[in-house]
Chains A and B, each alone.
Chain A
Amino acid sequence: MDETKINLPDCCISCTACITACPVTAATHKFRGPKMVGPVQSRLHFADDEMDSTLYLCSNCKNCDIACPSSVPISTMNMLARAKYYETHKHTQRDAILGHPEKMGWLLERMPLGAFFANVGASIGTSLGMVKAMGLADERPLPQFASETFGSMLKRKKQAVLDKKVVFFPGCVINYNEPQVGMDFVEVMNQNGYEVLTEDDFVCCGSPLVTTGYMAEAKRNATKNSHLIKQCIDKGYPILTICTSCSLMLVQEYHELFQDEIPDLEENAKHIFDASEFLMDIAQQDQLNTNFGEVNHKFIYHAPCHLRAQGIGLPSLELLRLVPGLQIDDIDAGCCGISGNYGYKAENYERSMKIGKNLVNAVKESCVDTVLTDCGTCRNQISHGAQVKVKHPMTILAESYKNKQ
């Protein structure tokens, strides 16, 4: 199969694999399904400007892409169709908020006690019904903003100047909501002899922009990020990220959405890694610091859909298995249901909980108290649905290294 032509709906042979894999299709009878809103619509919509009325239900979870034997980029087709829809339809204020987490975070960073007030405000807003009125799901807690951004924390930390360097692409969740996880990552890299640099001018990878139909803006972000990434690569630095939606966006979706429009995407992708992928690669060359301290705990690992779609396996699970005393199992119970900002929309809440029911039940049945997963929104969904603690694998690895000392 000629992979360079994968943007054509030509390759689809109507095998229905995507339909059986789609978690949204399993959860609702309204969604016409990936085959119809993806390749079929793509083939036929020359005749009609209106997009399918059920297109909004696609959560961009990528399970269709994983199942497709024909390399059809179904979810990308859906996102392109969604972008087209918004060329002639207005966004709601709710969409504006969900599509631009970076803008919110940037603003709060510059206001005194911005994060604190934002969190309080969100709480109050929820109880007053304002959050619901805006179209956001008030059944789940909104993401909390950290009082200090990752960027600021990193600047304060005194890292040793090391010969080996990596550039970190934190993404919005790490930068504004869970900066400590970013610091855990830095600890892990330092322990392996890498100094972590960052690029202040990185902007949001664009994933929430794409799913809410702000394609032009996503392209602007992609252009900016790619340019900066190239500069880092030219200096000899690989780019690492610990958010699986960011890595998927940077190494794959940029190419699927903007190939021919932005230079160097394919070449850049060769130097962009999920952090665990990178560490497993150096482990293959016997260069990983295997001085792990004991972590005597039983965990469950949940593989984010966006990680499974990358074709690199589950590298963080493999790293965790190197930690002595640690018991861990891949729960393998399907999509958590939140899929980025999808589950935060009021009209999607119930559906997203239904999609994730299997996973939540499996977590509850396993009787663990902590679930590890690399995706920020997965963490929110699992903690909300299963009422357990959630952590990023980097946090445990950092803890393990620290335990040794």
Chain B
Amino acid sequence: MKACDVVVIGGGISGILAAIAAAKKGKSVTMLRYGYGAFEIGGGLIDLMAYPNNKKESSSLKNCINTLPNDHPYSKLGLQRVEAAVEFLLELTKEEGYAYEGSVDELHWVPTAVGTMKPTGLYPKSFDAQVLKKADTIYLVDFKGLKDYYAKLTEKMLNKTIGKDKKYEIVTVDPRMEDAIGGRDIMIMDIARWLDTKEGQKDCANQLQAFVKPGAAIVFPQVLGTMPSYDAYDKMKSELQCDITEALCIPPSAAGMRLSRLLHNAARKHGVKIIEKARVNSAVITDGVCGAVVVSGGGKEHTYAAKSFILVTGGYYSGGLEVLDNNKIIEPIFNLPIKIMSQKEDEWANVELFSNQKQPFSLAGVMVNHEMCPVNEKGEKVLKNVFTAGRNLCGYDFCFEKSGNGVALASAYQAAASAMEV
């Protein structure tokens, strides 16, 4: 049976990044994906770390990595390797023509649709709360009929977070989608697709020019395109001569679609073989070595053999971790040992949803060593040629900490490095 070098199980952000990392180093990579990951949920930003311990004190990753608990993925990786992963991603986005900015050194704040500020790590330059701080006048753009963003709501809270001493003005743009209203309704995605086109960009800029005075700052919902390109952003900036920032919104996320497309293009460019709608059901393991994984597709089973495997199937959302109804968690493909904080019922979920403590169910997951190799409670490697990364790892709460895509990136990069050495 012909084996490739690396099989990546999962095609979310961790999977694609691992696949690209290995492919770039000349490995033959096959990526088996089921669904498209959580790109359209998240904002397309790479949150590295913001709240390591409580919700009140924020810190950049660099400043707090030494205070994180031992089983936090970042602790296992160490700052150097996280920085290498960050470097890898920044390079990649630059190559693909949609360069991200940022670093582990400092937090970068971006505005959200509810007017709060959200701290992130790596970001497209169109997301920047700093422009709001510098400006005297802030325009908030509403789109007529867009039901997933309301400038008035944003303004309400911005007053508190950015300051009352600014002048706020709401401007409404008509995206000319009357036929959608009350039938299909208009989502962020629709406006973003409108602004993918030159006509849309021109129309939008023209409408805004009637109201917007140069030298101000403008907040857009994240609608500046669905493609990995700064065209729409550049156009708005040059036509309106204002500083611009996008605000994070509810799904479907246009910025997430951009990142998804960027990574997908890069994966293809570097020769990653992508199999869609491929759900891995089981693995063929002999003496601690995985020889192949089994996928059901086309009504029958297919095996994919490789020298090494990277398990990046995500967490609860995508089925990488399953919680059975007797509160037992399993990792369904390799049956990897799972760490749970406690078996007690009241220690599975906090009483408060937005608790000031990390959620135990979020901290549960697969245990790994510093090579991203799955281990048991004693720290012994469970499999010799399987590595894992991303949401299924134990020890971190991505919502609380704001560390989701950062852990995904860093652990995937390391998992790829480890897989390549097999």
Contact = CB atoms under 8 A, between A and B. Distances in A.
Chains A and B in contact, CB within 8 Å: yes
Interface of A: 1, 13, 15-17, 19-21, 25-26, 28-33, 54, 65-71, 247, 250-252, 255, 266, 268-274, 277, 281, 283-285, 308-313, 330, 332
B318 A69 contact: yes
Contacts of A247: 298
Interface in B38-62: 38, 40-41
Which range holds the interface residue count of chain B?
35 or more
B322 A1 contact: yes
A255 B277 contact: no
A310 B263 CA distance: 23
A21 B37 CA distance: 12
A68 B187 contact: no
A270 B298 CA distance: 8
B264 to A, nearest CB: 8
B35 A270 contact: no
Given A19-B252, A21-B36, A67-B35, A312 B302 contact: yes
Contact of A311 (B180, B190, B257, B296): B296
Contact of B277 (A13, A270, A309): A309
Contacts of B180: 29-30
Interface in B189-203: 189-190, 193
A277 B278 CA distance: 14
A178 B295 CA distance: 33
Interface in B1-25: 1-2
Nearest to A15: B41
Interface in B247-305: 251-252, 257, 268, 273-279, 295-300, 302
A13 B40 CA distance: 14
B189 A277 contact: no
- A-B pairs with the 8 shortest C-beta distances? A311-B297, A269-B299, A251-B299, A69-B35, A29-B180, A311-B277, A313-B275, A312-B298
B349 interface: no
Given A19-B187, A274-B298, A311-B297, A66 B322 contact: no
A65 B322 CA distance: 21
B179 interface: yes
B211 interface: no
Given A1-B322, A252-B298, A311-B298, 4 more contacts: A29-B180, A66-B35, A69-B35, A273-B298
Contacts, number: 117
Contacts of A269: 298-300
B184 A30 contact: yes
B317 interface: yes
Given A29-B184, A33-B184, A66-B277, A284 B299 contact: no
Contact of B177 (A1, A29, A67): A29
Contact of A68 (B35, B38, B193, B317): B35
A54 B182 CA distance: 12
Contacts of A54: 183-184
Given A17-B35, A67-B36, A247-B298, A1 B319 contact: yes
Contacts of B187: 19
Contacts of B1: 284-285
Contact of A16 (B186, B251, B274, B298): B251
B34 interface: yes
Contacts of A33: 184
B1 to A, nearest CB: 5
A30 B37 CA distance: 27
Nearest to A27: B193
B277 A65 contact: yes
Interface string B103-145: 0000000000000000000000000000000000000000000
Contacts of B317: 13, 15, 69
Contact of A284 (B2, B36, B41, B186): B2
A19 to B, nearest CB: 6
A258 to B, nearest CB: 14
23 contacts: A1-B319, A1-B322, A16-B40, A17-B36, A20-B40, A29-B177, A29-B180, A29-B186, A30-B184, A54-B183, A54-B184, A66-B35, A69-B36, A69-B37, A252-B298, A252-B299, A255-B299, A283-B2, A285-B1, A312-B275, A312-B302, A313-B297, A332-B268
Given A16-B252, A312-B302, A31 B184 contact: yes
Contacts of A273: 298, 300
Contacts of B183: 29-30, 32, 54
Given A29-B177, A32-B183, A310 B298 contact: yes
Contacts of A271: 300
Contacts of A69: 34-37, 317-319
A32 to B, nearest CB: 5
